[in-house]
Amino acid sequence: MKQTFALALLLCLLFACKSFETSIAPEQLQSAADGRNFAIDITDMYPMRAPGKYVGGDYFVRVSGDSVSSYLPYMGRAYRASYNGGNPLDFDGPMLTYESGVGKRNASIVQFTARSEQEVLAYRIVLYANGEADVDVASNNRDFISYKGRVRLSE
């Protein structure tokens, strides 16, 4: 009976632990950051003036060479309304600046600025070895917003 209980407990612990298959080597993360070739699939958003929210779906930030594709939800205060009424975090365009480096616990940190139709957006992305990522977006016309997601390295 004790052996059966111990075996059941061990199996529960094994299934409760996160899989190590999703881990990414720090060198591979830094290479993707330096090479400007990665994407983040967004799972959660954290607005400045509201509780966090699971968004799932097809939201993403993709960095490819000198350009960025951003398709992110936004919830927060706008200090100046968009003329076209669209979401300023949905755009494809060139990056104005780009920096990458290594942070705490071998996380790769990427910072860049880009211009949507009417706003300058500053992105700060932290890529972790467990495959997760944090994305912070600051705008000159809107409240700050954060996102969490999964890293997708381009082949």
Look at residue 129 in the predicted model and tell me its pLDDT.
92
Q: Are 87 and 52 in contact (CB under 8 A)?
A: no
Chain segment 42-57, per-residue pLDDT in tens: 999 999 989 999 998 7
In the chain, the amino acid numbered 76 is: G
- Integer-rounded Cα radius of gyration of the chain: 19
Residue with tokens 């968009």: 82
Count of residues making up the chain? 155
pLDDT at 15: 47
**Residue 19: its pLDDT value, please?**
41
pTM for the model: 0.82
pLDDT of residue 86: 73
DSSP E strands in the chain: the ranges are 37-47, 53-54, 60-64, 67-71, 90-102, 108-115, 120-127, 132-139, 145-153
pLDDT of the residue at 10: 46
27 φ, ψ to 5°?
Answer: -65, -35
pLDDT by residue for the chain (155 residues), tens only, comes to 556 545 454 444 444 444 434 688 888 889 999 999 999 999 999 999 899 999 987 999 999 999 999 999 998 888 877 676 678 889 999 999 999 999 888 899 999 999 988 789 999 999 999 999 999 999 988 899 999 999 998 76
pLDDT value, residue 44: 97
Tell me the C-alpha to C-alpha distance, in Å, between residue 148 and each of 8, 16, 96, 97, 115.
34, 21, 23, 22, 22
Q: Which domains, from first to last, does the chain contain? A: 23-153 (2.40.128.410)
How far apart CA 71 and CA 74 sit, in angstroms, is 10
